[in-house]
Amino acid sequence: MKQFIDFIPLLLFFIVYKLDPRVIDLAGHELTVGGIYSATAVLIISSVVVYGAIFISQRKLEKSQWLTLVACLVFGSLTLAFHSETFLKWKAPVVNWLFALAFIGSHFIGDRLLIKRIMGHALTLPEPVWTRLNVAWIVFFLFCGAANLFVAFTFQSYWVDFKVFGSLGMTVLFLIGQGIYLSRHLHDTDPTTPKTED
């Protein structure tokens, strides 16, 4: 459910982007709907509404949600202010690389890897497995950022489609792979738990 809620602003962005540009009258003001700039405005507004509603209902946002919201506001506002989609094209790579940086930093800062902080309440795994899992997320975010950047500036007519569906597809495939990998280790005991001899 949470993943679907996070996906709402991006889906609305995609729908408005795909509309043929048209001028509509709204309370005596003419607005252009369709194309990158109106889609960017919808992305900003819907992100504020969605994450604002989550904050009101839960009294907090996760760090990843704060990062996504701030990046949307910054890159979206720059896109509208300078009337250049280049800024928005950098949003996905920067966000992915910041996530990668957070996972990298957890190897050197704090007493637990970031992936263990996220999933440790639900799983008990040996430390080497947590380490490999954390590294896998680092590689995934670095790859996603690079893929988004490459498509955005090489295949400009497809970058919005890739931003919405390509990134989602990569995430689903990665999560499936992670699930398969974890299924092989769920029976493993945590090394901190003494084993008993039969």
pLDDT at 191: 47
Structure tokens at 171: 């995430």
Secondary structure element (H or E) that encloses residue 23, with its range? strand 22-26
Q: Report residue 22 CA to chain centroid gap.
A: 30
**DSSP structure class, residue 61:** -
User: What is the spatial distance between Cα 168 and Cα 163, in angstroms, rounded to a whole number?
Assistant: 8
User: What is the spatial distance between Cα 89 and Cα 101, in angstroms, rounded to a whole number?
Assistant: 20
- Are the C-beta atoms of residues 188 and 130 closer than 8 Å to each other? no
- CB within 8 Å of 133: residues ≥ 6 apart: 113, 115, 119, 125, 178, 181, 182
Question: For residue range 8-52, what is the model confidence (pLDDT) as tens digits?
Answer: 899 999 999 999 888 887 777 777 888 999 999 999 999 999 999
195 pLDDT higher than 70? no
Structure tokens at 110: 């704090």
pLDDT at 124: 84
- What's the whole-model pTM score? 0.83
Could you give the 3-state DSSP secondary structure of residue 129?
helix
Domain boundaries, the chain: 1-83, 90-187
Q: Tell me the HSE value of 20 on the side-chain side, using a 13 A CA sphere.
A: 0
pLDDT at 125: 86
Residue type, 47: S
pLDDT at 4: 65
- CB within 8 Å of 57: residues ≥ 6 apart: none
Neighbours of 188 (CB within 10 A): 12
What's the whole-number average pLDDT of the chain?
A: 88
- Are the C-beta atoms of residues 161 and 95 closer than 8 Å to each other? no
187 pLDDT higher than 90? no
Mean pLDDT of 154-177: 90
- Are the C-beta atoms of residues 93 and 149 closer than 8 Å to each other? yes
User: What is the spatial distance between Cα 114 and Cα 137, in angstroms, rounded to a whole number?
Assistant: 10
Q: Considering the chain, what percentage of its residues have pLDDT values greater than 90?
A: 62
